[in-house]
Amino acid sequence: MEAEDPLERILQVSNLRKLYPVSRGIMDVLTRQPRRYVHAVDDVSFSLQKGEILGLVGESGSGKTTVAMSAMGLLDPSEGKILFNGEDMRDLSRGKQRLKLRREIQMVFQDPYEALNPRQKVFSIIAEPLEVHGLTRSWEEKVEKVKAALSAAGLKPAENYFDRYPEELSGGQRQRVVIAGALILNPKLLVADEPVSMLDVSIRAEILSLLRELRDQRGISILYITHDLATAGFFTDRIAVMYLGRIVEIGPTSQVLTNPQHPYTRALLSVMPVPNPRRRRQRQILHGEIPNPINLPTGCRFHPRCPDAIGRCRQVDPQLQTVGAQHTAACIRLDEIHAEDKENKEKVEHAYQRSLP
């Protein structure tokens, strides 16, 4: 993958932090206990190029959706800066710029059953953004734009869906209606928050292929939020792995999947289904739950669950370091772990050679 061009960045997130204050009881106030915070997102930085698909991957509670909502301008960061097309998101989220921002950034939600108003017909659902933004001058123009959006989302012939209610559609069709509602404003950035997790496995690939085709045809950038590395590998150009509010590894999808550097990424990959039995990996089952984001572990946040943790991991907070072309990871034991892996592979190969007749 070519080096990033700053002029081609659609989204730039720098040192993003989002903290939520914890409610204080009467005893906390009387004893003057310091206020505690939920560290939903803690010092996250990344960029998204025009026409690129970036996947944010991690367990529930890792901060993926908070990053997405901040990128949408729906949450104000506690610290840090978000630039959209080179302009500060906080400036764009206020006053006259708000409607423009809403046109240029759209979201595809996780649950198509909840995202659509059950009392509205499909035509009204798709046409509503046009009315809010005053983008049509006649009924005929509105009809043509709704038809084009539904057709682009794969619902053809579009007229057959105009008078249907959401309850008359399948899960895949509902999600296509959601996508059509996002596309009708011709956005520059699409935030897709788990867009296929509520759908049958048989149609997940169809929806992801549709989104990728729209990227290719329209040059839309996509921020893809998911807990599923398999779909991220199929769909994205780059992957950022999040754990407990931070990015622990980020790089081109092919590199992250074939040469994972962080122990958390390796654990996620180890449980991915592999159709070829000869290529199955040894599973690394992580013990325990993700730690409480109020009381963060000292040192590396992953060390309570990390199979490779040593004493120093409890003391040193690792920062992202370069491990390849546009590939970074945050672990103080990267070199040691790779040396151990190489030694283990050599032992396995040696044992295999000795077993041959």
**pLDDT, tens digit (0-9, with 9 covering 90-100), for 52-83:** 999 999 988 899 999 999 988 888 899 999 99
Domain boundaries, the chain: 51-65+103-274+291-355
Residues 164-223: tens digit of each pLDDT: 999 999 988 999 999 999 999 999 999 999 888 888 887 888 889 999 999 999 999 999
Q: What is the pLDDT of residue 349?
A: 53
Assess whether pLDDT exceeds 90 at residue 48: yes
Q: What is the pLDDT of residue 171?
A: 87
Q: In angstroms, rounded to a whole number, what is the distance separating the alpha carbons of residues 223 and 72?
A: 10
The mean pLDDT of 226-239, rounded to a whole number, is: 91
Assess whether pLDDT exceeds 60 at residue 356: no
Strand duo 221-226 + 53-57: pairing: parallel
Asked if 249 contacts 256 with a C-beta cutoff of 8 angstroms, the reply is: yes
Assess whether pLDDT exceeds 50 at residue 1: no
- Extract the tokens encoding 339: 């040396």
Mean pLDDT value across the chain? 86
Q: What is the pLDDT of residue 7?
A: 57
This prediction has a pTM of 0.87
Q: What is the pLDDT of residue 348?
A: 46
Assess whether pLDDT exceeds 60 at residue 328: yes
Is the C-alpha dihedral spanning 107, 328, 14, 2 positive or negative? negative
Q: What is the pLDDT of residue 248?
A: 96
Name the least confident of 12-16, 108-112, 164-168, 330-334: 108-112
Domain 51-65+103-274+291-355 part of CATH 3.20.140.10: no
Element (H, E) at 206: helix 201-218
Strand duo 79-84 + 87-88: pairing: antiparallel
